[in-house]
Amino acid sequence: MNTPSSPLVTRRRIQVGELGIPFIELTLTNGETFHLYDTAGPQGHDPRDGLPKRRQDWVQPRIDRGDTNFSQMHYARKGLITEEMQFVAAREGMEAEFVRAEVAAGRAIIPANKNHLELEPTIIGKAFKVKVNSNIGNSAISSSIDDEVEKLQWSVKWGADTVMDLSTGKNIHETREWILRNSPVPIGTVPLYQALEKVGGVVEDLNIDVYLQTIREQAEQGVDYFTVHAGVLLRAIPLTRDRVCGIVSRGGSIMAKWCMHHHKENFLYEHFDRILEVMKEYDVSFSLGDGLRPGAIADANDDAQFFELRILGELTTRAWEHDVQVMIEGPGHVPMHKIKENVDLQQEVCHEAPFYTLGPLTTDIAPGYDHITSAIGAAIIGMYGTAMLCYVTPKEHLGLPDKHDVKEGMIAYRIAAHAADLAKGHPGAQQWDDMLSKARFEFRWEDQFELGLDPETAREYHDATLPQAGAKVAHFCSMCGPAFCAYKLSQDVNEMADKLGDVVSIGGADGMSTDEIRAGLDEMAERFKAGGSEIYVPVDPS
């Protein structure tokens, strides 16, 4: 039997324009092309060499002319449109002047350390595509440097817009160096972890000097944003006493312990201005940490959480006085009906600085599936205006994610982010859905697979019941089989309607009497039968 072969989709990485905006270009089996936003970066480089330094020519002139504040916000407020702004504008399909205005107003940030020259800049703000962060990093228990670089590459392959290196063990500096030199996306860290290593793991011995030394070291390497837990104030700690889950942020609990031991105010808060000096010198963005975020449904939206949020708003104002870019970290564990209040309050008290949330998880009852409990919350909080979503993997609460977990977490969050883009009406977002659904309705299986977030898995699932090449062009799938395929029947119906022309009216709605409708229907039936209405004969699946 003659089985039709499956036409192929062409997938290639392209760079558009002078600035080389990266996209994946798909050429579909029907000849149409489609561009996918691409975060994977230049391919095929030896990790020991790192990626090409595409920002070298952008940053060097700023150094040469003696700039002292390198922040994108600083340039934006001076009315300058940087190459980074042009890049993200072209990447998002927006005007560069709009990007500049959003950055100047603090409603969006472009994390881009002047020393992270390998970066392909991205913008984080509610007017733009919702972004996804992936966490990597070794812990005291396991993993190696090679593992971490591989996790970085794996994360961006699956669409991570930024990556946080949360390493806490040995070789923390060297691990970070490898990650930065191989990262096309902004890298964030929590400098407190390394500062704690420097004082031998003794929380009480932490101090502002070792912290400043640490952030300068990391800024020099090119880290693009720092989580800083400057909002965990001594007087707020007792508010967590009656919680079900206390303080669940690592940085938050470290600072709380320090504050309690010394009975002094948080040194990050007290010396915030000294931190700011480093931030603007390198253009490191703040990710103001929510050290008192809720870690259980019971603790959501409580006094501790919202007290800290107001402090973060105060710190935002102080950072903006120095043109330092800021985003605000958010929860955590929040039931659905309490999500909107989080965004509304954050936008109000933090003056519309971008919100960056961890999920939130919408229930606590599913350990092993928190990528799903939290993708629900992430999609909703994204719809309400959250700019970036920190992914959660299936291993959350249980252990360190492996490659499979990273991929599962990334895909769940790209779903959440895109669902939010659709709900916000982001320009062009729905075109992607429409391309895929059209391919689906027209039985262009290969197009459907390749337009999806994970072509390999889609193809594998399809082939699990219909592995034959012919099935890739068949006008049915194994869900319904050939006789019951709704798409095919629906296409038949459409063809019938086309044969009849426009005469199938919406009876009853246009004032026709029942008899008139009946007479019209009989006439139509005769015309349809005369036109030939054969039953669908499926392509042989063998």
Within 53-82, the residues that bind a second copy by CB under 8 A are none
Residue from 201, 273, 468, 516 touching a second copy (CB under 8 A): that is: 201
Q: Of these, 81, 234, 345, 349, which contacts a second copy (CB under 8 A)? A: 234
The single residue among 43, 49, 241, 542 that binds a second copy, judged by CB under 8 A, is 241
3-state secondary structure 423-452: HHCCCCHHHHHHHHHHHHHCCCHHHHHHHC
At position 517, the amino acid (one-letter code) is I
Q: How far is the CB of 436 from a second copy (least distance, A)?
A: 5
Residue of 25, 524, 539, 540 interacting with a second copy (CB under 8 A): 524
Q: In the set 208, 345, 466, 473, which binds a second copy (CB under 8 A)?
A: 466
Q: Which residues between 469 and 508 bind a second copy (CB under 8 A)?
A: 477-487, 489-494, 496-497, 504-508
Asked if 328 touches a second copy (CB under 8 A), the answer is: no
Phi, psi of 233 (to 5 degrees): -90, 150
**Beta pairing partners, 25:** 12, 35
Instruction: Tell me if 521 contacts a second copy by CB under 8 A.
Output: yes
The DSSP line for 83-150 is HHHHHHHHHHT--HHHHHHHHHHTSEE----TT-TT-----EETTSPPEEEEEE---SSS--HHHHHH
Judged by CB under 8 A, which of 96, 203, 212, 473 binds a second copy? 203
530 counts as binding a second copy under rule CB under 8 A: no
Nearest to 393 by CA among 365, 373, 377, 379: 373
**Minimum separation from the CB atom of position 517 to a second copy (A):** 8
Task: Find out whether 91 and 21 touch, Cβ atoms under 8 Å.
Answer: yes
For the purposes of burial, counting CB atoms within 10 Å of the CB of 260, is it exposed (0-12), middle (13-18) or buried (19 or more)?
middle
Identify residues 160-199 at the interface with a second copy (CB under 8 A): 168-169, 193, 196
From 46-54, 275-283, 320-328, 528-536, span contacting a second copy (CB under 8 A) = 528-536
Site track for a second copy across 377-416, x = CB under 8 A:
--xx--x----------xxxxxxx-x--------xx-xxx
Q: How far is the CB of 24 from a second copy (least distance, A)?
A: 13
Is 208 an interacting residue with respect to a second copy (CB under 8 A)?
A: no
Instruction: Give the pair of three-digit tokens for residue 516.
Output: 């008139």
DSSP string across 197-233: HHTTT-GGG--HHHHHHHHHHHHHHT--EEEE-TT--
Residue tagged 């003794």 (tokens): 202
DSSP 297: G
Asked if 144 interacts with a second copy (CB under 8 A), we say no
Q: Select the span of 24-32, 110-118, 324-332, 436-444 touching a second copy (CB under 8 A).
A: 436-444
> Which parts of 353-372 interact with a second copy (CB under 8 A)?
362-369, 371-372
Verify binding: residue 539, a second copy, rule CB under 8 A: no
Whether 41 and 56 have beta carbons less than 8 Å apart is answered as no
Can you tell me which of 26, 103, 180, 419 binds a second copy, judged by CB under 8 A?
Answer: 419
Verify cis geometry, omega within 30 degrees of 0, for the bond prior to 332.
Answer: yes
Region binding a second copy by CB under 8 A among candidate stretches 52-60, 100-108, 341-349, 446-454: 446-454
Nearest of 351, 302, 352, 371 to residue 331 by alpha carbon? 302
Task: Provide, rounded to whole angstroms, the least separation between the CB of residue 492 and a second copy.
Answer: 6
Stretch that binds a second copy, among 22-30, 72-80, 245-253, 346-354 (CB under 8 A): 245-253
Rg (CA), the chain: 27
140 makes contact with a second copy (CB under 8 A)? yes
User: For a second copy, which is the closer residue by CB, 181 or 472?
Assistant: 472
Of 49-57, 126-134, 154-162, 295-303, the segment contacting a second copy by CB under 8 A is 295-303
Burial track 263-298 (b if 16+ CB lie within 10 A, e otherwise) = eeebbbbebbeebbebbbbbbbbbbbbbbbbbbebe
